[in-house]
Amino acid sequence: METLRRRTAKALMRHVAQIMPSKDWGTAMQNEVEAIEDDRVALRWAMGCVAAGYRERMNTMLQTWYFRSALACLIVLLALREFFAPLLIFAYRMEYLGLAHFLGLRTAGDDYRRLIPVMDATPFWVVALWAVAGLLYLVALWQMLRRTGASYMLFLLGSGLDLAGVLAIRSVEASTGIIVEPIPMIRLAGFVLTFSVAFVLWRMTWKPTPAAS
Amino acid sequence: MGRKTIRSKQTDRLLAVMLKEPLAWQHGYALMKQTGLQSGTLYPILLRLSDQDLLEAQWRQADAPGKPPRHVYRLTTAGLAFAREETVPASRTSDALLGARA
């Protein structure tokens, strides 16, 4: 009669055999657990193999064209988000009201006019921060597609500028009494998403010390 | 495209263990016991070494009846040379073997 630990270890190893990109290695890991007599050790072995399996799976997935394409689209969207506020403020200040109205429909509340006091009070350097952040995202994307350079560093720098801009705008919000983004969770989710992309870029461009040639 | 081998302490530890018996085929579990590495650390290192042709793997029938075949591993000639650079003291013992296998 097999113990619960042994059954769990075997179930985990079946899962590992499925998720490993190389079936040969997946089977090798699965079979190895059969040779471990101690159930406790077998379970710990299996749990380690699950971690290794997912790590290998992720490394393989990061290099696929569809994952890279999806990530590229996401970075473009994040860059567009950075350009949004500068473009809206530019359109409003230059009195391109048609464009301002068009963009305003995409703001919280569907009407940019409630944001007019904020746009009037927003210093130029904050607008510039967001625009530069958007540009940095696009350069990071270019680097990712060409597989050159450490794109995550540019992306992280852009994220930092974005964060600085958001922190700066809080004082404007406080002075005008207008909250640009009424739902704080949306802003938080944006930061989580941005830093998740930075992490993935770091994993993709991670270059360990070369082996001896 | 093969992955690069990481110069980590764990890799060094594994290479040092494999250098002790360079011609012997060893199971993953045996390597785990000798190195003290967990399977979640050991297998990614084995995979990377194998990708770079520094490690060779073979299927072996299990000693006990009814058990499935197991993977066994040993360093290739290139792997031995790499290991020798990584772990200099241990390499002295394998110099003669390297010459014999080349």
Q: What is the pLDDT along chain A (213 residues), one digit of tens a residue?
A: 789 999 999 999 999 999 999 899 999 999 999 889 899 999 999 999 999 999 899 888 888 889 999 999 999 999 999 999 999 999 999 999 999 999 988 887 778 888 899 999 999 999 999 999 999 999 999 998 887 767 889 999 999 999 999 999 988 988 888 888 878 888 889 889 999 999 888 888 654 433 433
Strand stretches in B10-100, DSSP E:
26-27, 55-60, 70-75
B7 has a chain A CB within 8 A of its CB: yes
Give residue A70's identity as a one-letter amino acid code. A
How many beta carbons lie within 10 A of that of residue B78, not counting itself? 16
pTM of the model: 0.68
Q: What is the DSSP letter of B6?
A: P
What pLDDT is stored for residue A77 in this prediction? 95
In whole angstroms, how large is the CA radius of gyration of chain A? 24
Phi and psi torsions of B71, nearest 5°:
-80, 135
* Through-space distance between the first and last CA atoms of chain A, rounded to whole angstroms: 52
Q: Do A52 and B69 touch (CB under 8 A)?
A: no
Can you state the angle between helices A151-176 and A65-93, rounded to 10 degrees? 30
pLDDT-based confidence at residue B88 (cuts at 50, 70, 90): low
What pLDDT is stored for residue B87 in this prediction? 63
The number of angstroms, rounded, from the C-alpha of A87 to the middle of its chain's C-alpha atoms is 24
Kindly tell me if the per-residue pLDDT of B46 is higher than 90. yes
β-strand B26-27 against B55-60: which pairing, if any? unpaired
Kindly tell me if the per-residue pLDDT of B86 is higher than 70. no
* Residue in chain B lying closest to A24 (CA): B71
Q: What is the DSSP letter of B2?
A: P
Interchain CB contacts (distance < 8 Å): A and B: 83
What pLDDT is stored for residue A193 in this prediction? 93
Q: Do A45 and B32 touch (CB under 8 A)?
A: yes
What pLDDT is stored for residue A212 in this prediction? 37
To test the contact with chain B by mutation, choose from A6, A13, A29, A63 the residue with the greatest count of B C-beta atoms within 10 A, namely A29
The number of angstroms, rounded, from the C-alpha of A50 to the middle of its chain's C-alpha atoms is 24
* Residue in chain B lying closest to A212 (CA): B82
Mean pLDDT over B51-77 rounds to 90
Phi and psi torsions of A94, nearest 5°:
-90, 0
What pLDDT is stored for residue A213 in this prediction? 33
Structural domains in chain B, sorted by start: 9-101 (1.10.10.10)
Token readout for B49 is 């070494």
> Which burial class, exposed, middle or buried, applies to B43 when counting CB atoms under 10 A from its CB (0-12, 13-18, 19+)?
buried
